[in-house]
Structure 1
Amino acid sequence: MPATLNRPQNRMQVLVSIVLAMLVASMDTTIINTTMPIIVKDLGGYSLYAWAFASYMIFSTVLTPIAGRISDLYGRKTILAAGIIVFLIGSLLCGLSQTMMQLILFRAVQGIGAGIMNPFPAIIAGDLYPIEERGKIQALFSAMWGISAVIAPLFGALFTEYASWRWIFYINIPICLLSLFFLRAYKEEYEPKPASVDYGGAVLFTLGVSLTLAATAFEKQAWWLVLAGVALLAVFIAYERRQSSPIVPLALFRSRPIRRMNINAFLSNAALFGTASYAPTFLQEQGYSTFVSGVALLAQSAGWMLMSVPAGKLILRYGYSRLLIIGNVLLVLSGVQLFYLSAGSSYLYSLTALFIQGMAFGILVTVTIIGSQQFVDGDQKGISTSLMMFSRNIGTAVGVTVMGSLLTGAAQFMTGVHSLYTYGFLVSLLSLATAFLSLEAAKRPLPNAL
């Protein structure tokens, strides 16, 4: 059953809490981008450079579905608060790090906290807001991710220049405390269904996904990590089929809308979500400053917000399938533009491609998040929402890794750029094809929505 807050101001306080939690988790994904050279110079351990990113990414990804499932069993508020506290402790320890190995370990602690926090903005918004209002809330969440992607590296540079790189972690502490303070207003009326926690499944899932994602931190000889990770995930699937209360209920994927939306979320993110990582690099190669190239990502955020706001009402009017198709058509259009990107392309050309891509993800992310909540019962809303986010995160990790290898493996920079966007365009076509497969979902009534 959804939680209801008697007073509107209480609901606003809860919204502030989850937005602040989202802000710190999203900022720490990119804030070290501009500061890592300084950190490595101070701490040493250049050979471990990539692991400062990978340790955070791995745990923030793998803990998301586990946190969502546990919240279904024991409620939202306690689990979210635990995630905020773990993230706060991890941030403090990162700031106190004296060696690169310590920083990597404490970034993993941060990642655990972020992974626990990540699904709750969408889950709690699904509990508190009707479907027609959720598009606006998702637009706000999208704005926070988009803005943090731009300002986090800038803040990192400012802290490094005028204070110390350690403040990129210390700044999280007051924000986390504010988030905890406002979370007190959350009067949860959701009735969880307590059950035994599937610890074995949680361990197998964590190890399998972690090993697979760890391969992204190695330039060579990563195949054995992928094989080990895939083998453990196969064991995990066989194990989960025998559990009465699995950590990841595989029965969710028997629902065609849920299955197809997860597939589409994976493919759309694997196709072009990684553009945010490489578009600024392209613009810098064309002579634009770090700031100006970073600001270009605001075009993507603007398109995202433009389509997220009305998405909830559009779902009620047109259904999920039509909007999935429209979103994927827009994604393909942005892929076409990027496919024809050249060294002579203008700044406006890049902005247009990013804006259209933002419109695409504004539709796709909002529709799939809302769909993941509406096509399941209340006691599965947490795991369904977090699995959708997990599908997107895995797709992003795959896309960024493939794009990075295509760029670094090319003889010339523009050859690599063309290769990575050719890949993105082709996968966006595959994503569009899967959107057409979900037409049957449009004929089904919207649970709890109409």
Structure 2
Amino acid sequence: MKSSTKYVLWGLLITNLMVAMDTTILNTTGPVVTKDIGGDKYYAWIFSIYTLLSTISIPIFGKLTDRFGRKVVFLWCTAFFTMFSFLCGIAHSMPELIIYRALKGLAAGGVLPATGILLGDLLTVKQRGKFQGHFSLIWGISALLGPLVGAMIVELLNWRWIFFINIPLGVITLLLMIPYKDEAKRVQSPINWASAFYFAIAAFTVLILTMNWEWAVFLLPIAILMAVMFYRTERNTNTPFLPIGILKNYPLLFFNFNTFLFFFALFGLESFIPYFLQKVQGSSVLMSGLILAGISLGWMLSSYLSGKIVIKYKYKKPILLGNLIITLSTIPFFFYTEHTPLLCTFLILMVHGFCYGLIQTTASIGSYELSNECEKGFASSLQSFARNIGTTFSLGYMGALVVKNPFYILYAAGIFAILACLISAALSIKMRSKSF
């Protein structure tokens, strides 16, 4: 591997780490922020606005990478992410902080698709399996370390350094990306901004609904109207926002739908398992964190094996195998009691981590390899979008269940995983291509 390629990979890794850490780093430090600048009634928005806008902007920036190039989009988004980190650090009120967090979320949504397609440009399939696993693992590690790092920064410095720490990292990334020459073919057709707008508003309102159904009477009509406008605009244009090639590419549709299904079925569980362990089984906070680390360990293991598995078996078999294993691992949930050994939960989460890594890495590689050259950016972005949408929906329904009975989240995870596995297997029957 060339030294210039290594520099670029380090740049991608650092930026993705910043984006991922920003998702959770405020979890333990939010109360400190509100104590300093006030705005308790807006507290939830400093978390949700970042995730919401990063999610809805992913497909839009995926489209931009095809139009203007991977390097251009990645550098601009990294630069804006760094700049808005500085502005977050000097914010003097909660509304001001929320605005800058929103803009950071938009920039973060551009980093994700650009990273996926840059990995595809730089690496072979075998190399990409390994590195794609590493990049996927970043999100699992950040979920565990983000709150801890945030707490340490507040203890040693103050909360503003949670954002200032991104500035040197962002500058380093920009310097590391200098050697990369973007030689990929670019799409010359203009972007349909009307369709992009309708898509973004529809997605935003649907995601808000998963957080608060009390607003359904206002938001649901808006979501439906925007969806109808999006459909009409796409139908009557020669430059659709959603490429026709994507709609006719059955393997790509399968990858994205499968990712959505399993992250919807299970990924929210990983956020509420600590609640179950502490409230039902009486575990300590530290022990809950150690058990949750099983996900990262499993994901790490899959990062070393996924590339080899994809080379040998292509895409369909690894995904269906991951689906089956993760579904079987949920069966013990139906027999859980308050006395179930913690080791059992650790091993199940480790299996989940391995399967998440296998499914997502395989789907990410397949989305790049099986898409047209002029649609690789958008195709890669849909994987991140499907994952984030599935996770958001999962957190929504599990958050409602855990309040009623903590055991319900275990039962729901098992039931939805079984349904997802059956649906995915049924959809895969139609795909007989040798490349799949």
TM-score normalised per structure 1: 0.92
**Quick one: which of 141, 148, 151 aligns to 1:154?**
148
1:341 is displaced (CA, Å) by 3.4
- In structure 1, the partner of 2:425 is 436
1:80 corresponds to 2:69? no
Quick check: 1:27–1:149 contact (8 Å CA) kept in 2?
yes
CA displacement at 1:206 relative to structure 2: 1.4
Counterpart-to-counterpart distance in 2, 1:317 and 1:69: 31
Shift of residue 440, structure 1, vs aligned partner: 4.7
> Is the 2:137–2:357 Cα contact (8 Å) retained in structure 1?
no
2:329 alignment counterpart:
334
Alignment map for 1:56-71 (pairs within 5 Å): 56-71=50-65
Equivalent residue, structure 2, for 1:91 = 85
How many Å separate the matches in 2 of 1:369 and 1:333?
24
Distance of 1:260 and 1:311 partners within structure 2? 18
1:331-360 CA-to-partner distances (Å, cap 9, x unmatched) read 212322334333222321221111011111
Q: What residue ranges of structure 2 are gaps of 5+ in the alignment?
A: none
Residue matched to 1:136: 130
Taking the aligned partners of 1:442 and 1:200, their CA distance within structure 2 comes to 34
Partner of 1:357: 352
**Cα-to-partner distance string for 1:32-62 (whole Å, 9 max, x where unaligned):** 1111122222222222121111110111001
- Structure 1 segment 233-244 matched on structure 2, within 5 A: 233-244=227-238
- Displacement of 1:316 after TM fit? 2.9
Superposed displacement of residue 391, structure 1: 1.0
Instruction: Find the aligned partners of 1:437 and 1:130 in 2 and give their Cα distance.
Output: 31
Contact in 1 for aligned 2:71/2:114 (Cα 8 Å): no
1:443 counterpart SS class: coil
Structure 2 distance, partners of 1:127, 1:345, is 47
Q: Is the 8 A contact 1:272 1:335 kept in 2?
A: no
Give the TM-score normalised by the residue count of structure 2.
Answer: 0.95
Equivalence for 1:425: 414
Q: 2:246 matched to 1:257?
A: no
Matched, 1:382 2:371: no
Letter matched to residue 418 of structure 1:
F
Partner of 2:15: 21
1:96, 1:338 → 2: CA distance?
A: 46
Letter in 2 for 1:426: I
The 5 A counterparts of 1:279-428 are 279-285=273-279, 286-408=281-403, 410=404, 415=405, 417-428=406-417
Query: In structure 2, what is the Cα distance between the partners aligned to 1:38 and 1:369?
Result: 38
Q: Write the letter of the residue equivalent to 1:100.
A: M
CA drift of 1:248 comes to: 2.4
Amino acid paired to 1:366? T
From the superposition, tell whether residues 124 and 208 of structure 1 become closer, same or farther in structure 2 (CA, over 3 Å): same
> What is the CA–CA distance in structure 2 between the aligned matches of 1:295 and 1:250, rounded to whole Å?
46
Against the structure 1 CA distance between its residues 407 and 197, is the aligned structure 2 distance closer, same or farther, given a 3 Å change threshold?
same
Between 1:387-396 and 1:342-351, the stretch displaced more is: 342-351
- Secondary structure in structure 2 of the residue aligned to 1:373: helix
Following TM superposition, by how much is the alpha carbon of 1:223 offset from its aligned partner in structure 2, in angstroms?
4.7
**Contact kept? 1:198, 1:247, Cα under 8 Å:** yes
Secondary structure, in 3 states, of the residue corresponding to 2:215?
A: coil
Whole-Å Cα distance in 2 between the matches of residues 420 and 223 of structure 1?
Answer: 27
1:59/1:108 contact within 8 Å kept: yes
The 3-state SS of whatever aligns with 1:315 is helix
User: Residue in 2 aligned with 1:194?
Assistant: 188
Gap change, CA 1:233 and 1:272, over 3 Å in 2:
same
Cα distance, 1:366 vs. partner? 1.0
Distance 1:244 1:110, change over 3 A: same
What is the alpha-carbon root mean square deviation over aligned residues?
1.8
- The structure-2 alpha-carbon separation of the partners of 1:219 and 1:166, relative to structure 1 and needing over 3 Å to count, comes to farther
Asked if the contact 2:74–2:115 (Cα under 8 Å) also holds between the matched residues in 1, the reply is no
| C-alpha distance 103-348 of structure 1, shift in aligned 2 (>3 A) | same
Shift of 1:304: 1.5
Structure 1: how far apart are the matches of 2:39 and 2:105? Answer: 20
The match for 1:3 is: none
Q: 1:128 to 1:422 in 2, by over 3 A?
A: same
The 2-side partners of 1:210 and 1:131 are apart by: 34
- Provide Cα deviations, 1:261-286, integer angstroms capped at 9, x if missing partner: 21111110001111221122233334
In structure 1, what residue type is equivalent to 2:413? Answer: G
Are the equivalent residues in 1 in contact too, given 2:310–2:318 (CA < 8 A)? yes
Deviation of residue 324 (structure 1)?
A: 1.5
Q: 1:79: Cα distance to partner?
A: 0.5
Contiguous gaps of at least 5 residues in structure 1: 1-6
What percent identity do the matched residue pairs reach? 33
> What is the CA-CA distance between 1:117 and the residue it aligns to?
0.6
